[in-house]
Chains A and B, each alone.
Chain A
Amino acid sequence: MGMYRKNRATWLIGLALSGCVISSVAAAAGVESASDSSTPTVSNKLLLTGGVTQVEGSAGGGLTPWAVIGGYGTSDEIGANAFLTHVNLPDYHLDEVGAMVGLYDRVEVSFAQQRFNTEQVGAALGLGRGFTFQQNIIGVKVRLFGDVVLDQDSWLPQVSVGVQHKKNDQAGVLQFIGAKSDEGNDYYVNATKLFLGQSLLVNATLRFTKANQIGILGFGGDRNNSYKPEFEGSVAYLLSRNWAIGAEYRQKPNNLGIAKEDDWYDAFVAWAPNKHVSLTLAYADLGNIVIKDRQRGLYASVQVGF
């Protein structure tokens, strides 16, 4: 709708916030690594090849899941990690916590809880200032074939399939804005390939979804209530063992008549000083969200694992 307002520069606040998050989790990670020496046989994947945690809790980039199985476990091992993500937009913010377990480099089970705060927009819409949508997501991903790191002599990518079951806690409001359901499943298939000689990782995901703004605004709508295939892609360039930069794209449906939805983009930098901690900072362009256009801001995520 036509109520565009100028962006407020909330960058600094976002940075300060993510700084707090980072330092508190870094402290927690210190405890993690201390216990590591007694268990040298866990977490033996190579650094950064497990990706980070994407916005719905699966291993991947920031916006899109990758075919990798999260955690640094290999085929004989179990790996696990937890994450905190904060996205600071001009008119909204998202806080998220979650955890995942990777089993034998074959199955990944993840849980994420998103809290999407509508700040002043909530007041403008009569929901109350700071009105928050909460969504819980349970994800399962299964690696079908391929090995993202070792298969360097063939074109075969690592391929996985997955489902993300999402449940939003604001059924009443969702119905009011035209969403058909407060819960839904996203199904995806993805292929990830590391071109090691080029230091380049490429991912493509095809997602079948009805979710409005990944489910924050419910599932299905007046304009469309069927599953649509959506394309998602990431490229990451490995700068060193510990640093990667990249960009992502995520196509999205547009099911709600009153709340236009745009495709998402981001450019990110990820840092993994060791296998227990990774930090991801991104500049994300999330386009129009309900009545506010140009939602661009900082995405900060920290992951600790073992």
Chain B
Amino acid sequence: MFKYSLHATVIATAMLFAQAAMAQDTAPMPEQSAAMAASAPRDPSLKPVFDEFGGRPGLVALMNDFMDNLMADTRTRPYFVDADREHIKVELVDQFCVILDGPCTYSGKDMEKVHRGLGINRAAFNALVEDLQTAMNKHDIPFRAQNKLLAKLAPMHKAVITK
């Protein structure tokens, strides 16, 4: 009998996956202007995630801890120690807010231009993601909501990682 319930699990999970895949397929294609090409575009389906992040105030609070983590992490600190960290936080709030379809506009620099000279490798990129995850956990942002944001940030590796 367990064998059949196992089969059922496999099939159910496969169906879940198929549904998720279809949901992704039918989601409206986010429009991409040239200016936003190196950043992540607004995605209306992420509006509920914006609320799970606690809206704009939630993002402001999150970014404080995120930047603290980046400065405490020996893998990322060297990149940020001489940067205008308060300014970066402000831009990050706007950027994440836009990605999550919040009522903001991103007026910061192009992702590729701003990171080009920094010599960021994959390890530093992953370290930053971990520091963000730690900050999101501290703010009790649900894991699934975290992953929805990370899924939008991940493709920016092409603009950010240069070595």
Known: A150-B157, A265-B10. A197 touches B151 (CB 8 A): yes
Q: Interface readout for A223-243 with B: 1 if CB under 8 Å, 0 if not? A: 000000000010101111100
Q: Whole-angstrom distance from the CB of A273 to the nearest CB of chain B?
A: 14
B101-136 contact mask (Cβ, 8 Å, vs A): 1 or 0? 000000000000000000001110011011001000
Stretch of A12-20, A70-78, A126-134 with 4 or more beta carbons under 8 angstroms from chain B: A70-78
How far does the alpha carbon of A265 sit from the alpha carbon of B9 in the complex, in Å? 10
List chain A residues, Cβ under 8 A from B137: 241
Q: Which residues of B contact A75 (CB under 8 A)?
A: 121-122
Find out whether the CB atom of B3 lies under 8 angstroms from the CB atom of A265. Answer: yes
Q: Is B147 among interface residues, defined by CB-CB distance under 8 A? A: yes
Question: A197, A200, A233, A296: which has the most chain B beta carbons within 10 Å?
Answer: A197
> B143–A235 contact, CB under 8 A?
no
Q: Kindly state the separation between the CA atoms of A30 and B70 in the bound complex, as whole angstroms.
A: 25
Q: Does B143 contact A241, Cβ atoms closer than 8 Å?
A: yes
B21 within 8 A of A: yes
* A196 with B151: CB separation less than 8 A: yes
Contacts of B155 in A (CB 8 A): 150-153
Name the B residues within 8 Å of A197 (CB-CB): 24, 147-148, 151
- Indicate whether B81 reaches chain A with its CB closer than 8 angstroms: no
- A196 lies within 8 A of B150 (CB): yes
In the bound complex, CA of A200 to CA of B152 (Å): 15
A179, B6: Cα distance in complex, Å? 30
What class of interface size applies to chain B in its complex with A? 20 to 34
Q: Quick check: B123 and A249 within 8 Å, CB to CB?
A: no
Alpha-carbon separation in the docked complex, A202 to B151 (Å): 16
Bound complex: CA A141 to CA B107 (Å): 45
Determine which of A150, A152, A153, A200 lies in contact with B17 in the assembled complex, contact meaning CB atoms within 8 Å: A200
Smallest beta-carbon distance A239→chain B, Å: 7
- Contact (Cβ within 8 A) A44 B20: no
Task: Give the CA-CA distance A178 to B117 in the complex, in Å.
Answer: 64
Closest A residue, CB atoms, query B154: A152
Choose among A74, A153, A237, A247 the residue that contacts B126 (Cβ–Cβ < 8 A). Answer: A74
Whether the Cβ atoms of A200 and B20 lie closer than 8 Å is: yes
- Is A46 close to B, CB under 8 A? yes
B6/A199 in contact, CB under 8 A = no
A237 and B154 in contact (CB under 8 A), knowing A44-B75, A74-B121, A267-B6?
no
Question: Complex: how many Å from CA A13 to CA B129?
Answer: 41
Q: Which residues of A contact B20 (CB under 8 A)?
A: 195, 198, 200
- B residues within 8 Å of A by Cβ? 2-3, 6-7, 9-10, 13-14, 16-17, 20-21, 24, 74-75, 121-123, 126-127, 129-130, 133, 137, 143-144, 147-148, 150-152, 154-155, 157
20 new A-B contacts at CB < 8 Å, known A151-B155, A195-B21, A197-B148: A44-B126, A46-B129, A47-B130, A76-B123, A77-B123, A150-B155, A150-B157, A152-B150, A152-B154, A153-B154, A195-B24, A197-B147, A198-B147, A199-B147, A241-B137, A265-B6, A265-B7, A267-B9, A285-B2, A285-B3
Ordered by A's residue number, 28 sampled pairs between the chains whose C-beta atoms are within 8 Å are A41-B123, A44-B126, A45-B126, A74-B126, A76-B122, A77-B123, A152-B150, A152-B155, A153-B154, A153-B155, A195-B151, A196-B147, A196-B148, A196-B151, A198-B17, A199-B144, A199-B147, A233-B10, A239-B143, A241-B133, A241-B143, A246-B13, A265-B3, A265-B7, A265-B10, A266-B6, A267-B6, A296-B2
